[in-house]
Structure 1
Amino acid sequence: MNFTGVSGQLQFDLEKNLIQPAYDVLNIGGTGFRKIGYWSNSSGLSTTEPETLYGKSFNTSTRTPHLYSVIWPGETIATPRGWVFPNNGRPLRIAVPERVSYKDFVSKDKSPPGVRGYCIDIFEAAINLLPYPVPRTYMLYGDGKRNPQYTDLVGQVALNNFDAAVGDVTITTNRTRMVDFTQPYMESGLVVVVPVKQVKSNPWAFLKPFTIEMWLVTGAFFLLVGVVVWILEHRINHEFRGPPREQLMTIFWFSFSTMFFSHRENTVSTLGRLVLIIWLFVVLIINSSYTASLTSILTVQQLTSRIEGIDSLISSNDPIGVQDGSFSWKYLVNELNIAESRLVTLKTMEDYIKALQDGPKRGGVAAIVDELPYIELFMSATKCAFRTVGQEFTKSGWGFAFQRDSPLAVDLSTAILQLSENGDLQKIHNKWLRSSECSMQLNEMDADRLSLTSFWGLFLICGIACFIALAVFFCRILLQYRRFSPETVEGDVEEIELPPRSGRRSLRTASFKNLMDFVDKKEIEIKHMLKRKSSDNKQEASPSSDGKSHSPS
Structure 2
Amino acid sequence: MLMTQYGYLLMQSMHFLIKGGNISFSNDSRLAALRGGSLHLDALNIFNGGNLLRQNILQVNMTGVTGKVKFNPDGNLIHPAYDIINVIGNGIRRIGYWSNYSGLSVVPPETLYSRPPNRSSSSQKLHGVIWPGQTAQKPRGWVYPENGRHLRIAVPSRVSYCEFVSQVPGTDKFAGYCIDVFTAAINLLPYAVPYKLIPYGDGVNNPSCTELVRLITAGVYDAAIGDIAIITNRTKMVDFTQPYIESGLVVVAPVKKRNSSAWAFLQPFTGQMWSVTALFFIIVGAVVWILEHRLNDDFRGPPRRQLITILWFSFSTWFFAHRENTISTLGRFVLFIWLFVVLIINSSYTASLTSILTVQQIFSPIEGIESLISSKDPIGYQQGSFARDYLVNELGIHESRLVSLKMPEDYAKALKDGPHRGGVAAVVDERAYIELFLSARCEFSIVGQQFTKNGWGFAFPRDSPLAVDLSTAILKLSENGDLQRIHDKWLMRSACSLQGTKLEVDRLDLKSFWGLYLMCGIACLFALFINVLQMVRQFSQYNSLEVASSGRSSTSARLQTFLSFADEKEQEVKSRSKRRRLEMASYRNETMDGYSSKRQDIESPPDESPHASNEA
Normalising by the residue count of structure 2, what TM-score does the alignment of the two structures yield?
0.59
1:255 maps to which residue? 314
- 1:323 Cα deviation from its structure 2 partner: 0.8
Q: Highest Rg: 1 or 2?
A: 2
Q: Provide the residue aligned with 1:468 in structure 2.
A: 529
Distance 1:130 1:523, change over 3 A: closer
Aligned twin of 2:405: 346
The one of 427, 440, 447 equivalent to 1:368 is: 427
**C-alpha spacing 1:239/1:406, structure 2 compared with 1 (3 Å):** closer
Q: Deviations over 1:453-472 (max 9, x none)?
A: 95874575366346536634
Who is 2:112 aligned against? none
Q: Which amino acid in the other structure matches residue 386 of structure 2? A: F
Q: Secondary structure at the match of 1:531?
A: helix
1:450 equivalent among 503, 510, 515: 510
- Asked whether the 8 Å contact 1:103–1:117 carries over to 2, the reply is yes
CA distance in 2, matches of 1:453, 1:79: 61
Q: Does 1:128 align with 2:187?
A: yes
The answer on whether the counterparts of 2:216 and 2:460 sit within 8 Å (CA) in structure 1 is yes
| Structure 1 stretch displaced more, 316-325 or 384-393 | 384-393
State whether residues 163 and 403 of structure 1, in contact with CA within 8 Å, keep that contact through their aligned partners in structure 2.
yes
Q: Which residue of 2 aligns with 1:421?
A: 479
Indicate whether 1:265 and 2:312 are aligned: no
SS of alignment partner, residue 550 of structure 1 = helix
Instruction: State how far apart, in whole Å, the 2-side matches of 1:394 and 1:468 are.
Output: 53
Q: Secondary structure of the equivalent of 2:510?
A: coil
Task: Tell which deviates more after alignment, 403-412 or 390-399.
Answer: 403-412
Structure-to-structure mapping, 1:75-154, within 5 angstroms: 78=139, 80-83=141-144, 95-109=154-168, 114-130=173-189, 141-142=200-201, 144-151=203-210
CA separation of 1:279 and 1:472: change in aligned 2, threshold 3 A = farther
Q: Is the 8 A contact 2:250 2:451 kept in 1?
A: yes
Task: Read off the aligned partner of 1:419 and give its amino acid letter.
Answer: L
C-alpha distance in 2 between matches for 1:73 and 1:219:
84
CA RMSD of aligned residues (A): 5.4
Q: Is the 8 A contact 1:296 1:448 kept in 2?
A: no
Which of 539, 549, 552 is the aligned partner of 2:596? 549
Inter-partner Cα distance in structure 2 for 1:315 and 1:277: 48
* SS of equivalent to 1:387: strand
Identify unmatched segments of 5+ residues in structure 2: 1-35, 45-88, 93-128, 551-555, 603-616
Report if aligned partners of 1:92, 1:135 keep a CA contact under 8 Å in 2: yes
Larger relative contact order (CA 8 Å, sep ≥ 6): 1
1:243-277 CA-to-partner distances (Å, cap 9, x unmatched) read 87766654433222222333232211234334434
Match of 2:489 in 1: 431
1:469-508 matches, within 5 Å, as 471-472=532-533, 475=536, 478-479=539-540, 482=543
Q: Alpha-carbon deviations, 1:340-374, whole Å to 9, x = none? A: 22221111223223333444344333333222321
Conserved? CA contact 2:272–2:509, under 8 Å: no
Find out whether 1:236 has 2:283 as its counterpart.
no
Question: How far apart are residue 168 of structure 1 and its match?
Answer: 1.9
Find the aligned partners of 1:452 and 1:167 in 2 and give their Cα distance. Answer: 44
Q: What one-letter code is carried by the residue in structure 2 that aligns with 1:538?
A: A
Q: Percent identity at matched positions? A: 52
Aligned-partner Cα distance in 2 for 1:223–1:183: 59
Kindly provide the CA deviation profile for residues 311-349 of structure 1, in whole angstroms up to 9, marking residues without a partner as x.
665555432221112233344445555432222111122
For residues 175 and 532 of structure 1, the distance between their equivalents in structure 2, rounded to whole angstroms, comes to 95
SS in 2 for 1:345: strand
- Amino acid of the structure 1 residue aligned with 2:532: A
Find the aligned partners of 2:571 and 2:451 in 1 and give their Cα distance.
Answer: 72
Structure 1: gaps of 5 or more residues: 1-12, 21-32, 37-68, 490-507
State how far apart, in whole Å, the 1-side matches of 2:235 and 2:509 are.
48
User: Residue 382 of structure 2 corresponds to which residue in structure 1?
Assistant: 323
Q: Which moved more, 1:290-299 or 1:99-108?
A: 290-299
| SS of structure 2 residue aligned to 1:325 | coil
**Per the alignment, in what secondary structure is the counterpart of residue 369 of structure 1?**
strand
> What is the match of residue 188 of structure 1?
247
Q: What do residues 368-390 of structure 1 show as CA deviations (whole Å, max 9, x unaligned)?
A: 32223212323444358412534
- Secondary structure, counterpart of 2:207 in structure 1: coil
Superposed, 1:242-321 pairs within 5 Å as 249-284=308-343, 286-287=345-346, 304-309=364-369, 313-314=372-373, 316-321=375-380
* TM-score normalised by structure 1 residue count: 0.65
Asked if structure 1 preserves the Cα contact closer than 8 Å seen for 2:291 and 2:531, the reply is yes
Conserved? CA contact 1:93–1:138, under 8 Å: yes
State the AA in 2 paired with 1:468.
Answer: F
1:81 is aligned with what amino acid?
W
